[in-house]
Amino acid sequence: MTEGSADPHEILEILGPTALQEFLLSEIQKVYRMQGVTINDKHIEVIISQMLRKVRISDPGDTEFFWGEQIERKSFMLENERIIEAGGKPAEGEPILLGITKASIETESFISAASFQETTRVLTDASTLGKIDDLTGFKENVIMGHLIPAGTGLPLYRNLKIDTFGNEFVSDDDTDEEVG
């Protein structure tokens, strides 16, 4: 790592995901700052976290994963927790750096993936595999014309109404009893 520009894959392999995140953030910010553009780090960090959200299984342990399989980090962590609680051997895996295009296409939501690139392939694969999109993210909900799952769009807040007498929030279930 002494000649030329640093290879992000080598940084990930040698120094780990945190060092890679810091490196990518720094390099991306340099490019924007040279153009006189200021971007809050959090926006770039969201993209970088999506690029690092997959893990390649190196040892499946007692899980149902396969050697070499690429899975979401969240699924990896949940399955390992379940296996550890059951007294089994957890899986081992290494983080993978995906390019922006690959990260966008390999999302769990096929509707979100189809909106980015390779629409025909993504929709064909989803239909032949009988996939169901749970519409849990922002993008797929916007595409479908639904409320986004944030703020008042969260299921928890959808049935709340304002009681104009006491200026309190009440649910539809409580409206007849408290306001009536």
- What is the per-residue pLDDT for 180? 42
- What is the per-residue pLDDT for 166? 61
Interacting residues of 83 by C-beta distance below 8 A, sequence separation 6+:
61, 62, 63, 89, 90, 91
Q: What's the CATH number for 8-134?
A: 1.10.1790.20
- What is the per-residue pLDDT for 177? 47
Neighbours of 51 (CB within 10 A): 21
Answer whether 169's CB lies under 8 Å from 160's CB: yes
Neighbours of 46 (CB within 10 A): 10
**For residues 67 and 120, what is the distance between their CA atoms, to the nearest angstrom?**
29
- What is the per-residue pLDDT for 175? 47
**Exposed (0-12), middle (13-18) or buried (19+): which is 118, by Cβ within 10 Å?**
middle
Tens of pLDDT, residues 88-113: 999 999 999 998 878 777 777 888 88
Positions of the chain with pLDDT lower than 50, given as ranges = 1, 175-180
- What is the per-residue pLDDT for 178? 46
Task: Parse the chain into domains and list their residue ranges.
Answer: 8-134
